[in-house]
Amino acid sequence: MHSLSRLVLAVIATLSISTQVLAFDVTTQSLVKTGYATSQVTTGPFDSKLIIAAQDDAAVFVASDGQLRGARLESALAYLRQSRPKLHASDLELAQAILVQ
């Protein structure tokens, strides 16, 4: 095999590994964020009736990738943001955390 062919194969292998690592990194980052949001929603006192009532709306919100927002979900999100001002999570991450309840 020519040295140029070996170099091309090595570059392709490196790019393939880099792409896989990046994909893993993005997936892992998303899981960590969602896990953090879930831990913030599930720890400490909160109005469980409000959170539980928002589960159906949260499911629709997650399934629609954030396009459909129900009134109960909006109420739960407002409550969570007001009661936990240091919580830095997107609405989608919070909706996923509500589904875990």
Residue from 18, 24, 28, 76 nearest 48 by CA: 76
Count of structural domains, the chain? 1
What does the pLDDT read at residue 70? 95
pLDDT in tens, 37-82: 555 555 544 567 888 899 999 999 999 999 999 999 999 999 999 9
32 is in which domain, residue-wise? 3-100
18's CB contacts (< 8 A; 6+ apart) are none
> Looking at the chain, how many residues does it have?
101
What does the pLDDT read at residue 84? 87
pLDDT in tens, 3-49: 556 655 655 655 555 455 455 545 555 555 555 555 555 554 456 78
- Residue 70 corresponds to which tokens in the numbers above? 């129900």
Three-state secondary structure readout of the chain: CCHHHHHHHHHHHHHHHHHHHHHHHHHHHHHHHHHHHHHHHHCCCCCHHHHHHCHHHHHHHHHCCCCCCCHHHHHHHHHHHHHCCCCCCCHHHHHHHHHHC
- Assessment of whether the complete model's pTM goes beyond 0.75: no
